[in-house]
Structure 1
Amino acid sequence: MNIENIEAFVYVIHYGSFNKAAEVLYLSQPSVTARIQSLERELDCRLFDRVGKQTSLTDDGKKFLPFAQQLLQTFQKSKIQLKQKRTLPNELRVGCTVSVSNYIIPTIIPKLKHKYPDVNYKLSTAASEDIINRVLNRELDLGFVRNISHPNLLSAKAYDDPIRLYVYAGHPFTQKAEVSLEEIGEYSLVFFECGSLDWMRIHRLFASMKQPPSIEFQTDNLETAKKLVLQGAGIAFLPSLCVEQEVRDGKLFPIDFPQTAGISLQTNMIALNGENAIFFNSALDLCKGIAQSIREHI
């Protein structure tokens, strides 16, 4: 069965006339008529009743229409898939910060692999500045970095990760609806430091205190900071995503602290302008799902 004949049949119905269908298909009206007649011969039935200039579907035409639409849609989807397969690279190189590597990539990459099974994925972990340079030099295709702006890069917010105060099970703060700055100063603090403006804002919170909190542990590794809190070594301000599972398991507890409301770590996804748009948009959509999960569990 000729797909062009089916296309002509569906277009005539959709646009309401042979002439309009001919315009859209860049054909002459007799050519569209010939295609419909050929389809009727193949099906051995009349699809249209023609009375003067009026055309209407026969009962057989009405029965065939949903099958014709499905066949045409399947054919068009297959063309898109084949074209997309020809344009996709064999390998996608993704650079990300340590936190993204630990908490975001394990969720995103399997879903990308499911959507683009013929693509292999090469993952690299580095600081934001290094990832930016490698994307600009075409050493990486996509990057997950801190919030940046560059004229040669396509950049979009992947997600915001709220920073909150977390304490271990049994800590006195778990019995309070809200704590003050002074109360925090009474306990040992595990401080995760990544050098971003967000963490500088938290530092400034304690600058005016007569008795600032005792920062007994300072680390640039989120997992280390989290495990120190789990061991009861202190309390810590942490991004919500890195402790999502521990909060669900009742091992760590978020504490409301008004001064940190609105402070979050923003992660952007970057690519060279005009390149890897398919992967960029797909990964961005997946990140939106992760962001929704964060909002539901904080």
Structure 2
Amino acid sequence: MNIDHLEAFMYVVQLKSIHKAADALFLSQPTVTARIKTLERDLNTELFARQGRGLLLTEHGREFIPYAEQIIQSYKEGKKIMKERDEQEEVIIGANIITSQYFIPFALPLWKRGNPQLRFKFISAPNELLIEKLLQKQVDLAFIKDTTNDGLQKQQLLDNSVRLVVYPDHPLQYEENITANRLAEEPMVFFECGAFDWNRIHKLFEVGKVEPRIEFQVDHLEVAKSIIKSRCAIGFLPYLCIKNELASGELFEIDVAHLIQIKQHVFLTYTNQEVTKWRLWKDIEETVKKF
């Protein structure tokens, strides 16, 4: 059964004429007649009886009217819902690699739950590429490190400072006023990534005129973290990566603020001030608090 056949039937019912129904549907009279005949074959019954030049509904035709109306109405409602879904507002969010790995999986489900009318598209990319995409209007919001660009606005959001961490019961846990010389005695894992100024850590040892025992040099945070957890080394890692392990006691932070401080934050960065009016904006702030 075709929805076009049902609509032709209802137009003929309402206008009491195939000629008028054809005009209303912008179809030829033979086409409307063919649709009625096809519908009658599908139903295995006559819906109209001819009376001179006019048409009269048969008893079966009158009985079928409410069913045809219901089917057409259901079709229109379904079509409307599909159209609304197609027109659903899309939000394109980007994040640098570290934020993508540790914050976004926590946040995206919460944002969708609070904003079912939005469709989310997510892009994980380096900071520099995300800045380009923001300026080219290819991304609405991006979670990136601090940047200075006249075309961008930003809001400090997540603490991602670099911390020195050790495995449980490491001797450094019980020592105070740790020196660069003391750190240089410990095997270390270095995570190399363009997102951080690791030269400052190297400088720490240069100033002390000592060579650090870099026994592992890796380019993946989880690898670096696993090496520390396996009690093979200590290391400097960004907070987002070790947040859960610090909370659970799997890793411990060593206070070396007197030697070095690498304060870093993730900024919510955008080009259009209008985004701050979105309900999503408040949800992002609430998600950061929960995280």
**Common fold by TM > 0.5:** yes
Q: Closer, same or farther in 2 for the Cα pair 1:159/1:287, shift >3 Å?
A: farther
State whether structure 2 residue 146 is matched by structure 1 residue 147.
yes
Q: Closer, same or farther in 2 for the Cα pair 1:275/1:194, shift >3 Å?
A: farther
User: Which residue in the other structure is 2:159 paired with?
Assistant: 160
Q: Closer, same or farther in 2 for the Cα pair 1:220/1:260, shift >3 Å?
A: farther
Measure how far apart 1:149 and its partner are: 1.8
Contact 1:202 1:260 in 2 (8 A): no
User: Which residue in the other structure is 2:282 paired with?
Assistant: 282
Q: What are the within-5 Å matches in structure 2 for residues 81-96 of structure 1? A: 90-96=89-95
Q: Pick which of 123-132 and 230-239 moved more.
A: 230-239
RMSD of aligned Cα (Å): 2.5
Q: Pick which of 123-132 and 186-195 moved more.
A: 186-195
1:207 counterpart SS class: helix
User: Which residue in the other structure is 2:267 paired with?
Assistant: 268
Q: Closer, same or farther in 2 for the Cα pair 1:286/1:198, shift >3 Å?
A: farther
State whether structure 2 residue 124 is matched by structure 1 residue 125.
yes
Contact 1:163 1:238 in 2 (8 A): yes
Contact 2:111 2:280 in 1 (8 A): no
* Structure 2 CA distance for aligned equivalents of residues 279 and 229 of structure 1: 41
Measure how far apart 1:89 and its partner are: 5.3
Measure how far apart 1:225 and its partner are: 1.2
2:161 counterpart SS class: strand
Q: Closer, same or farther in 2 for the Cα pair 1:197/1:224, shift >3 Å?
A: closer
Amino acid in structure 2 at the alignment position of 1:282? K
* Structure 2 CA distance for aligned equivalents of residues 93 and 207 of structure 1: 44
* Structure 2 CA distance for aligned equivalents of residues 143 and 240 of structure 1: 19
Contact 2:166 2:234 in 1 (8 A): yes
Q: Pick which of 115-124 and 126-135 moved more.
A: 115-124
* Structure 2 CA distance for aligned equivalents of residues 283 and 142 of structure 1: 14
Amino acid in structure 2 at the alignment position of 1:266? H
Q: What are the within-5 Å matches in structure 2 for residues 36-47 of structure 1? A: none
2:273 counterpart SS class: coil
* Structure 1 CA distance for aligned equivalents of residues 159 and 200 of structure 2: 16
1:264 counterpart SS class: coil
Q: Pick which of 274-283 and 207-216 moved more.
A: 274-283
State whether structure 2 residue 183 is matched by structure 1 residue 184.
yes
Amino acid in structure 2 at the alignment position of 1:143? A
Q: Closer, same or farther in 2 for the Cα pair 1:99/1:197, shift >3 Å?
A: closer
Q: Closer, same or farther in 2 for the Cα pair 1:220/1:168, shift >3 Å?
A: same
Measure how far apart 1:287 and its partner are: 5.8
* Structure 2 CA distance for aligned equivalents of residues 169 and 225 of structure 1: 16
Measure how far apart 1:263 and its partner are: 2.0
Look at both structures and tell me which one has the larger radius of gyration over its CA atoms.
Answer: 2
**Percentage of pairs with the same residue:** 32
Contact 1:112 1:282 in 2 (8 A): no
TM-score (norm 2): 0.63
Contact 1:158 1:284 in 2 (8 A): no
Cα offsets for 1:89-133 (capped at 9, x unmatched): 522111111110122112222221122112122221110000111
Measure how far apart 1:208 and its partner are: 2.2
Measure how far apart 1:285 and its partner are: 1.5
State whether structure 2 residue 206 is matched by structure 1 residue 219.
no
* Structure 2 CA distance for aligned equivalents of residues 201 and 95 of structure 1: 28
Q: Structure 1: where are the runs of 5+ without partners? A: 1-84, 294-298
2:216 counterpart SS class: strand
Q: Pick which of 180-189 and 195-204 moved more.
A: 195-204
Contact 1:158 1:268 in 2 (8 A): yes
Q: What are the within-5 Å matches in structure 2 for residues 1-298 of structure 1? A: 90-196=89-195, 198-259=197-258, 262-277=261-276, 278=278, 281-282=281-282, 284-286=284-286, 288-289=288-289
Measure how far apart 1:274 and its partner are: 3.2
Q: Structure 2: where are the runs of 5+ without partners? A: 1-83
* Structure 1 CA distance for aligned equivalents of residues 260 and 158 of structure 2: 17
User: Which residue in the other structure is 1:33 paired with?
Assistant: none
* Structure 1 CA distance for aligned equivalents of residues 223 and 286 of structure 2: 27
Contact 1:108 1:283 in 2 (8 A): no
Measure how far apart 1:220 and its partner are: 2.9
